[in-house]
Amino acid sequence: MLDRYAIQLLKAPVNCFGRLLDQSPFSANQITVAGFIIGLLTLPALIYNHYLLALFFIVLNRIFDGLDGALARRRGITDCGGFLDITLDFLFYSLVPFGFVLAQPEQNAVAGAFLIFAFVGTGSSFLAFAIMAGKRQIDNPVYQHKSLFYLGGLTEGTETIACFVLFCLLPEHFAFIAWIFGTLCWVTTATRLWAGYQTLKNVDNP
């Protein structure tokens, strides 16, 4: 829901860093992988209850996620880069609640499982429509520079990161926040299923 506004807000600084990275020997895919490896450090930080350190790694991961896209847009967006980026993003998103479950299994296990279950709904509906949209050459006028069709919803990347920030700042309320955000994710899944089905139905039967 907020991604389109966040993208516009961060566009100028991200593109500035993209120009600097364009002079470096690093590829966009290398930055993607480096960001994911940094994101993996969130897990041990959460397990040992170092929540502010975990937040630091989460923020770094998201910064790298923005930088790889900025560099890719300058050098050329590729299918393999888009595949790598979205796959590692979804793995990272599931890693965060899993870390809170491992940190406090008695208090967080059920809520964390519910949230990861909800992520399966948002992720599968997102990717399934992207496949069909690519097959049908359906363009998204809002996210024109994405490597695949970006189907929006109530809970997108911006809302997810905001949720992770709340988790780290208020770890004692993880379960409460996870139940709420997981429910919102299921609302997103439902709207994506409806919108995606209707869009493809109209393409199949013009």
Question: Any idea what DSSP says for residue 48?
Answer: T
Report the C-alpha gap between 37 and 84 in whole angstroms. 13
Q: Where are the alpha helices (DSSP H) in the chain?
A: 3-21, 28-40, 42-47, 51-75, 79-103, 105-136, 157-169, 174-204
What would the CATH number be for the domain defined by 3-204? Answer: 1.20.120.1760
CB 152 within 8 A of CB 1: yes
The confidence score (pLDDT) of residue 76 equals 83
- Which of the two residues, 117 and 127, has the higher pLDDT score? 117
Report the C-alpha gap between 35 and 64 in whole angstroms. 5
Among the ranges given (118-122, 138-142, 171-175), the one the predictor scored with the smallest mean pLDDT: 138-142
CB 89 within 8 A of CB 81: no
The confidence score (pLDDT) of residue 153 equals 78
Write b or e for each residue in 36-73: b if 16 or more Cβ atoms lie within 10 A of its Cβ, otherwise e.
bebbebbbebbbeebbebbbbbbebbbbbbbbbbbbbb
Report the C-alpha gap between 204 and 206 in whole angstroms. 6
Which of 83, 59, 58 is CA-nearest to residue 10?
59
* CB-based burial label for 2 (10 Å; 0-12, 13-18, 19+): middle
The confidence score (pLDDT) of residue 107 equals 96
The confidence score (pLDDT) of residue 205 equals 75
pLDDT band at residue 133 using 50, 70 and 90 as cut-offs: confident
Write b or e for each residue in 120-137: b if 16 or more Cβ atoms lie within 10 A of its Cβ, otherwise e.
ebbbebbbebbebbeeee
The one-letter amino acid code at 93 reads Y
Q: What is the residue-averaged pLDDT of the chain?
A: 88
What are the angstrom distances between the C-alpha of 106 and each of 93, 119, 129? Answer: 21, 21, 36
